[in-house]
Amino acid sequence: MTLTLAVYGKGGIGKSTTSCNISTALAKRGKKVLQIGCDPKHDSTFTLTGFLIPTIIDTLQEKDFHYEDIWPEDVIYKGYAGVDCVEAGGPPAGAGCGGYVVGETVKLLKELNAFDEYDVILFDVLGDVVCGGFAAPLNYADYCLIVTDNGFDALFAANRIAASVREKARTHPLRLAGLIGNRTSKRDLIDKYVSHVAMPVLEVLPLIEDIRVSRVKGKTLFEMAEKDPTLDYVCDFYLNIADQILALPEGVVPSEAHDRELFGLLSDY
Ligand code: ADP
Ligand code: MG
């Protein structure tokens, strides 16, 4: 059985950073992991591989969409701790649909028989909440995770995502595993939100300069901690999230707040 995760959240909130480190944490727990970057920005797996790997869409275009000419090694790259990495890539600029790209990516990986060999597949989803690429990974996911900070905008986006999960869960066995607070030392608004809509908070990570640096270096925190054990405490945040997921939490089918309700709730302090 492959456990499939979809990581969501507002643009720039730390989805890819969090995804790479959760994937690594899962690998450190002995799991065979595939991370699929679904953002046209195609930098999801950068800290795992240290470079921008070729995207599925670029490779498909190069081979004139002849799926039979594509080998797993054309599109699947080995990252840190043995995490396999795929970047879906983007539709042609100004045209096309991100949902189509995610669909093609899954189709190709299935044709390569590359889908069932993993213990965990993690989709790192784009931040744009209206595009077709946004909802597509929910079709495949067992669990959704939402990255947010303690601010209104990210929680507003989280609430939109929760609504999508609620909708998809009508036809798919999908659960929201919980929120991951990121880049914040405060959690009062996060707590206010989850006490209103009832969803778990898996972890809250502060702003950590070394996490910012990890992006520039193209390394996960685990790789950086090999040379600098003072970073072990940061890895522990991600290991804690991985362990909670591997324990197959019940999670929730969320019921989102109404927009007006949310404005009242989060501005009233
Ligand atoms: P997203 O994938 O949501 O667009 P990224 O993962 O690319 O966001 O993160 C955006 C930037 O924020 C990156 O430079 C990353 O290093 C930085 N970042 C993410 N989480 C943290 C954190 N907890 N502390 C400090 N910087 C962070
Ligand atoms: Mg990203």
Instruction: Please tell me if the CB atom of residue 42 comes closer than 6 angstroms to any atom of ligand 1.
Output: no
- Which amino acid, one-letter code, is at 127? G
pLDDT tens-digit map of 203-223:
999 999 999 999 999 999 999
DSSP state of 252: B
The CA–CA distances, whole Å, from 126 to 29, 121, 166, 183, 248 equal: 27, 16, 19, 18, 24
Helical ranges in the chain per DSSP H: 15-28, 46-49, 56-62, 72-75, 98-111, 132-135, 152-168, 188-197, 209-217, 221-227, 232-246, 259-267
Contacts (Cβ under 8 Å, ≥6 apart) of 209: none
The predicted model scores a pTM of: 0.96
Atom of ligand 1 nearest to the CA of 9: 3
Which ligand is nearest to the Cα of residue 9, counting in written order? 1
| Percent of the chain whose pLDDT exceeds 90 | 76
pLDDT tens-digit map of 156-182:
999 999 999 999 999 999 999 999 999
- Could you give the CA distance from residue 75 to residue 84 in angstroms, rounded to a whole number? 10
Residue 194 CA, ligand 2 centroid: distance in Å: 24
Q: What tokens does 193 get? A: 């939100």
pLDDT tens-digit map of 11-31:
999 999 999 999 999 999 999
